[in-house]
Amino acid sequence: MSARVPPVLSAIVFAAACGGDAPPTDDDSATADDDTALDDDTTPADDDTSPARKRPRVLGHRGMGSNDGGNPHAENSLGSFLAALQAGADGVELDVQLTSDAVMVVAHDEELDRTTTCTGCFIDRTLAELDACEAHAEDPTQDLQPIPTLEEVVDALPVDAFLEIEAKGFDVPGSSCRGPYADEAAVAAAKAEALVAFVDERGLLDRVHLTSFVPEAVARVEDLAPEIDTGLLWYTGVVDDMVTLALDAGVDAMDVHQAVLYADTTAEAFALAGLRLWTWGVVTEADVDRVLAHQPEEIITDHPDTVIPWVDAWVQGG
């Protein structure tokens, strides 16, 4: 049986890298040699250390990533979140499910089967019943940990760790894990309502971004607390349709998979609509270079340990 009280955890201090030196400026008294020097790759127009290269936040996706690819960490666990911060992440992305007694627990799937030692639906179990279950890594014998509540995660992380929290819909289309709710939209909206109350209770307004793939969920956040920062998650579809859904829901940002940014017009469409850009699924150095060209506010990655040095190098013109 897993204890619900997490171990005492020490705060982690981390710093974000800044941009480089200011570019050179023309001077009326410059010599011919000086003019020649300004014609090389360090001219103001081409200076890679320009302040325009603003560093985005980097968040650990489910901490140090999902339960695949040999990841030794249990996704969405306290250990995984702390490991992401130790790797230099500015915060974490996490997912919430509701128990039958309306407690928010941190897990990606509506079913326990893939990521825990139990089976069935989160929404069909009380928090006390979940004490008999443990989260695990891809190898179900590794990194066994209690399934954390959202409250336990917030208590365990440093006060400056940023949180992107997703109000989950259904990971499995047509899922039967609905509890008392009629459909996916109703389930996700109930999670959104619980999150709004939690953000207010814990004073988290300045360190959270609430998201969902379900437009009704983020629209509910906007109805109840428009001051909370929100984003609509998007993986695939028609850009104009997604912009319309985002504007109808009243969200502040589009949270998109990095693959959709292969087309420059995608980010341009968001900017024209007044939607800020967040991106996830960033894995390789090529991903970093491509998405940073669009100046996202946040990058969410399964690999903060490798992605953060690439982000910092890009910011510094490397």
- Whether 21 is covered by a domain: the verdict is no
- Residue 52: predicted pLDDT: 61
CA distances from 318 to 87, 196, 212 (A): 20, 41, 35
233 within a domain of the structure (yes/no)? yes
User: 8 in a domain, yes or no?
Assistant: no
Q: How many domains are there within the chain?
A: 1
pTM here? 0.84
Give me the pLDDT at residue 33, please. 41
> Is residue 32 situated within a structural domain?
no
The residue range of the domain holding 157 is: 57-315
Q: Is 208 within the bounds of a domain?
A: yes
Cα–Cα dist 255/299, whole Å: 9
In angstroms, the CA 98 to CA 127 distance is 9
Is 1 domain-assigned? no
What sign for the dihedral angle of Cα 278, 282, 288, 290? negative
Does residue 10 form part of some domain?
Answer: no
Is position 7 within any domain? no
Q: What is the CATH number of the domain that holds 215?
A: 3.20.20.190
pLDDT in tens, the chain (318 residues): 444 534 333 333 333 333 333 333 334 433 334 443 334 443 333 444 445 689 999 999 999 999 998 899 999 999 999 999 999 999 999 999 999 999 999 999 999 999 999 999 999 999 999 999 999 999 999 999 999 999 999 999 999 999 999 999 998 777 899 999 999 999 999 999 999 999 999 999 999 999 999 999 999 999 999 999 999 999 988 999 999 999 999 999 999 999 999 988 999 999 999 999 999 999 999 999 999 999 999 999 999 999 999 999 999 886
pLDDT at 173: 79
Q: What's residue 39's pLDDT?
A: 41
Residue ranges of alpha helices (H) inside the chain are: 32-37, 78-86, 127-130, 150-156, 184-202, 215-224, 239-249, 264-272, 285-292, 304-315
Q: What is the pLDDT of residue 143?
A: 97
